[in-house]
Structure 1
Amino acid sequence: MDNSMFPLKVFSRWFTNDTGVLSSTLKPVTIREKHHWIIRFPVKNMTVENVNIHTDKDDLFIRFQQTIEEKHENETTGAISAYQAITECTSRTAIPPDADEKNYTIVCCEDHVDIYFNMRKGDDY
């Protein structure tokens, strides 16, 4: 499934609920004789610690949290205010039925994030 669209919401102190779309790809891969489903998101400069995932049997919920700080200094009072922007991506697209939703690996690269789900075989699903 190429070019699936996942809703994208950006939350920050100043701008809430900005919405857009984040494309992704879903394809089967085989690594060291193990079969996986891989979902790729074009999110740059992410770390594994900032990718939060949980599944609800059929649905995948993902939160990419990028710490983007911006500081503003009030010229009159000298007070400094700051905010962090959080990018959240939530998928309600069904996970393939043979994907093991409890067994996944997150791999962050410079220009994308991959999520590998093990494929269940035979009696496993």
Structure 2
Amino acid sequence: MPDIDELARRYLGSWNERDPATRRALVGELWADDARYIDPIAVAEGRDAIDDVLATAQRRFPGMSYRMSGRPDVHHQLARLAWELAPPGGPAVIIGLAVLVTGQGRLRRVYGFLDPVPARNPSPGATR
């Protein structure tokens, strides 16, 4: 069972994975069967919908990647992960915070906070 610190790092890495098959495999490894992702512009239930949210973010922000800002703050089955979305070597265009809830070594829920919140851009499979 991976420790929650490593799980948080792999979670953020899944947002940067550009190969659809590899990204989907990561989602399958990281997320529990009853997975749910919630942020100000997306609610995704299940692995397929979560993978769609990641793919949509990559399409909306081409050439940018997610990077940690600091170390994950971890206790019990929870992690608080501060991150930034930025072009390579450039300043952040979005600053975020993800609260990860785990169980049995997998992500069960992730609650995201964004600053600023981008305009909504619906994607198939995710509820808005």
Taking structure 1 as the reference length, what is the TM-score of the superposition? 0.30
Higher relative helix content: 2
TM-score (norm 2): 0.30
Higher strand share: 1
